[in-house]
Amino acid sequence: MQWVYYMIFFMEIAEKIVLLVIISFVDYYLIRTIINGAPFAPTTTAAVSRMLRLLQVQKGEKAIDLGSGDGRIVIALARAGAIAHGFEINPVLVWYSRLKISRAGFKGRAFIHRRSYWKEDFSTYTVATVFGMPYMMKPLQEKFMKELPSGARVVSNRFRFPDWHIDASEEKILLYRKQ
């Protein structure tokens, strides 16, 4: 009977490997070859905690996660009380994120949109998170400066906005406030 447990264990591992292969292929094809965006690189649990600590999210705030990947930051923002929106172009990650949101019980408070955030209007968001690539930071900074409301808070994982003053940082998480 113990062999059944081993079989279930190996099936779960195989399922995760297949999912990772599919995500990697779609991620590489869609993002790197078509759009030249950032590849999927999951933010660590510790980094998500630092982001939330720096952002000090208030209940009911509207938050955005750019390139939301597997939805972990969107779920964390919703758990902190925000109405959280993630934008992701990889259809496999969108499906997986929506599944995770449903399982976590955040339907109606956390949303994943399958489209590019470059075409979105950020004027209704007071909180933003990004784990972008260095070549994306200057145009993204310009978009934030143009569209985010005054007082909006933005955290970046690792990479700096070139002309924006850092208000606070914790390890490689940088907090900015729009004046």
**Structural domain count, the chain:** 1
Q: Identify the bridge partners of residue 113 per DSSP, sorted by sequence position.
A: 87
d(CA 64, CA 77) in angstroms, rounded, equals: 9
pLDDT band, very low/low/confident/very high, at 45 (cuts 50, 70, 90): very high
Does a structural domain hold residue 22? no
In a domain, 8, yes or no: no
- The sheet with strand 168-170 has its strands ordered as 110-113, 83-87, 62-66, 127-130, 153-157, 173-177, 168-170
pLDDT beyond 80 at 11 = no
**For the domain that residue 61 is a member of, what is the CATH number?**
3.40.50.150
The verdict on residue 131 lying in a domain is yes
* 33: pLDDT strictly greater than 50: no
Give the pLDDT band (50/70/90) at residue 174: very high
pLDDT grade, residue 14 (50/70/90)?
A: confident
Asked if residue 139 has pLDDT above 70, the reply is: yes
In a domain, 32, yes or no: no
Q: Is the pLDDT score of 18 beyond 90? A: no
What's the whole-model pTM score? 0.80
Share of the chain above pLDDT 70, in %: 85
Q: What is the extent of the structural domain holding 140?
A: 45-177
Residue 168 lies in a domain: yes
Residue 37 in any domain: the answer is no
pLDDT tens profile 82-114:
999 999 988 889 999 999 999 999 999 999 999
Whether residue 138 lies inside any domain: the answer is: yes
Would residue 114 count as lying in a domain?
yes
